[in-house]
Structure 1
Amino acid sequence: MARALAINVAANTNLPGVRGPIYPDGSFVYLPIPEREPIDPAAEVPTYDDLQAELSPLPFELPSESRDTSVHLDPEFAGYPCCESYTYGDEHGVKAGPISELQPGDSLFFYATLTRHEPPAEVDTAPAVEWVAPEWGAYLIGEFRVAEVLDSDACGSLSPAEKAAFASNAHYKRAEFDAKVLVRGGDESRLFDRAVPLSTPDAGATANRIVTELSNDSGAGPWWRRRLWFDTEATTRLRSITATGDDSRPIADRLDR
């Protein structure tokens, strides 16, 4: 039976210095972190300016020193600018180990901390929802329905077919390939149109019931930096919650249905 893991990704107040925006209707912009390692000279890696040319206008200016910085576009979501497929890699054992436990058919969810903003005039949004936190919060932004997982041993000896499958991943574009785990998402993978909150509507640092009732985490301390595991029953409920991209109801209502 399927289970799920949720991990923290995307831009934050350390890298590159801002979080991605979430608007009052729950829509958001996924911004990756900057690339911190040398890049293969033959690889095509976008900068923040490249992404901004393809994305809707942001409600703020990126730090000037970041605009021409190459991004670490990981996870990549097919349909997002400069992405070809659904892949994710990680070089840190604290994430790579748990991710390596996933099996085909499991879910790898991605969550990000996002800051609430009013949308720019050029961006059309829907009516406001009640669950967006007043300043910042943690939100699920996408899911991979796992098709393939390569652990550290497999990453150390990729076959030609595996190299082709993960050629668009950010770790493969580094001067030295360093991933200790690689995940390929299947056809049901997607970047959400509307975020799914993990924080309560009152405060970003307060975990909602997805965290405290469905996951293995207590919600104490900085839970928004931790891995969240979901057992088989919880995974079924979480998939149901995230299945409807235009669901504007509070999480409590979605959990209790």
Structure 2
Amino acid sequence: MPRAVAINVAANTNQPGVRGPVFSDGSFEYVPIPEPEPTSRDVPTYADLGLSVELPNGADELPVHLDPEFAEYPCCERYTYGDPFGVKARPLLELDEDDYVFFYATLSTAEESERRVGESKHEWIAPDWGAYIIGQFRLAREPISGAEFAELGEGTQEVFANNAHLKREAFDAEVLLEGSKNGSGLYETAVPMSSSEAGAEANWVVTELSSDSGKGPWWRRPMKFGGDGVAEILGLREHRDSQ
């Protein structure tokens, strides 16, 4: 059975100073972090993404670090992800082809005034903010280490040409992932990892299915899932999207 690693991604209160929103129907907006490094090629700005979230003053023209790349998202081409940090790269490099990567983000609960006509609030949405799985990859190939990437042929390297780490002046990824077209995608409805009482309180997805204890700042850490946990999360995604 496939295994998985869950990785924290996307905007937060440090970068760029606001989280993406989660709405009362469980839909959300994926907001990437700003690009902190010099780039050798043009990269999208927040203005290019057509976001509805209100960004800090002047942030619209900031370049974004659009990673993970979801094929259905603005300015993206494929399903790719890169990471320069060993704490995330190490567990990801243990995965195999057909394993999963779940991407989770901290999202701010939208105000009641933003509720859409006829929309009811799901009981599982945390007050103020919470952590939610927002997308997944089913790996099209084994993860590639940064050292291995330099030795690969042009055809394989081209798969990652639009990834944010390939656009930096200095390539810095410790791991690169490619998701398959079937089994990868940005979710329509978020899957909660926080309890409905408090964003900082982990729910059963974390405490019962993952390798994490749910203590301390669990929403910043990578988490491992065995086959049963992967099946549960895939089922949750299907259930949320059908509601």
TM-score (structure 1 length as normaliser): 0.89
The corresponding residue for 1:46 is: 44
Provide the secondary structure at the position in 2 that maps to 1:138. Answer: strand
2 CA distance for matches of 1:145 and 1:240?
15
Query: Which amino acid is the alignment partner of residue 172 of structure 1?
Result: L
Following superposition, the deviation at residue 125 of structure 1 comes to 7.7
Aligned to 1:185: 179
Amino acid at match of 2:24: P
Conserved 8 A contact 1:27-1:125 = no
Deviation (angstroms), 1:65 = 3.2
Q: Note closer, same or farther for the CA distance 1:112–1:207 as it changes in structure 2 (3 Å cut).
A: same
Q: Deviations over 1:202-227 (max 9, x none)?
A: 10000000000000111111110111
2:160 counterpart residue number: 166
Partner in structure 1 of residue 106 of structure 2: 113
Relative to the length of structure 2, the TM-score reads 0.94
Whole-angstrom CA distance in 2 between matches of 1:216 and 1:140? 16
Letter in 1 for 2:48: D
Paired residue for 2:126? 133
Instruction: Show the counterpart of 1:255.
Output: none
Q: Which amino acid aligns with 2:57?
A: S
Establish whether residue 72 from structure 1 lines up as the match of residue 65 from structure 2.
yes
Q: CA deviation at 1:128?
A: 1.7
Structure 2 counterpart of 1:94, which letter?
A: V
Does the residue aligned with 1:171 lie in a helix, a strand or coil?
Answer: helix
CA contact (8 A) 1:155 1:180 kept: no
Matches within 5 A, 1:216-231: 216-231=211-226
1-side partners of 2:93 and 2:176: how far apart?
8
SS at match of 2:208: helix
In the alignment, the residues of structure 1 paired with residue 97 and residue 32 of structure 2 have an alpha-carbon distance, to the nearest angstrom, of: 25
1:233 maps to: 228
Which amino acid letter does the alignment assign opposite residue 174 of structure 1?
Answer: R
Q: Residue 82 in 1 paired to residue 75 in 2?
A: yes
Aligned residues: 241
Q: Which runs of 5+ in 2 are unaligned?
A: none
Q: Give the Cα separation in 1 of the matches to 2:148 and 2:196.
A: 42
8 Å Cα contact 1:114/1:139 also seen in 2? yes
CA spacing shift, 1:70–1:166, aligned 2, 3 Å: same
SS at match of 1:147: coil
Q: Which residue of 2 aligns with 1:22?
A: 22
Structure 1 residue ranges, 4+ long, deviating more than 6 angstroms after superposition: 119-125
Distance in 1 between the 2:110 and 2:222 partners?
26
- Asked if the contact 1:119–1:125 (Cα under 8 Å) also holds between the matched residues in 2, the reply is no
Q: Report % sequence identity.
A: 52
2:92 is matched with: 99
Question: Which stretch has the larger CA shift, 97-106 or 115-124?
Answer: 115-124
Cα drift, residue 232 of structure 1: 1.7
What's the C-alpha RMSD, in Å, of the aligned pairs?
1.8
- Give the Å deviation of 1:126: 3.8
